[in-house]
Amino acid sequence: MSHALVRVVEKPYLKTDLPAFHIGDTVDVMCRIVEGEKERVQLFSGTVIAREGGGINESFTVRRLVHEEGVERKFLLHSPNVVDIRVRRRGKARRAKLFYLRQRVGKARKLRELRVHHKKAPEAALAAAPA
């Protein structure tokens, strides 16, 4: 009973226009920063190494290298401070959490790219073929 009530209360605050992204994907996160009275949007791009929680409390962790130093930042998925999320590259991961990337440097920290192949409809393939 109480879980259903919590879901009903949380529903208006959940974002609906979020892209589908997974562990291992390289994403650009547009984050709203308030400095004094000024407000700006800052880009944080990196690899998604973890996702946890559910509902309004769902969060994800993004890791990137800055001047040979690893920087991780945790974002709340439905926060009003997260303006936009763009998936730049799909990564192939076989684990739910990629914390092992913390010990990797250079090319060893790269993940294999997940390629998505779309099958053409037979009619479209015939129409595209020269007569």
Q: Give backbone dihedrals phi and psi of 81, rounded to 5 degrees, phi first.
A: -80, -20
Structural class in CATH, domain 2-128: mainly beta
What is the token pair recorded at 69?
Answer: 């130093």
**What is the residue-level pLDDT of the chain in tens, covering all 131 positions?**
578 898 899 999 999 999 999 999 999 999 999 999 999 999 999 999 999 998 899 999 999 988 888 899 999 999 999 999 999 999 988 999 999 988 887 777 777 877 777 666 666 555 665 65
CB of 45 closer than 8 Å to CB of 28: yes
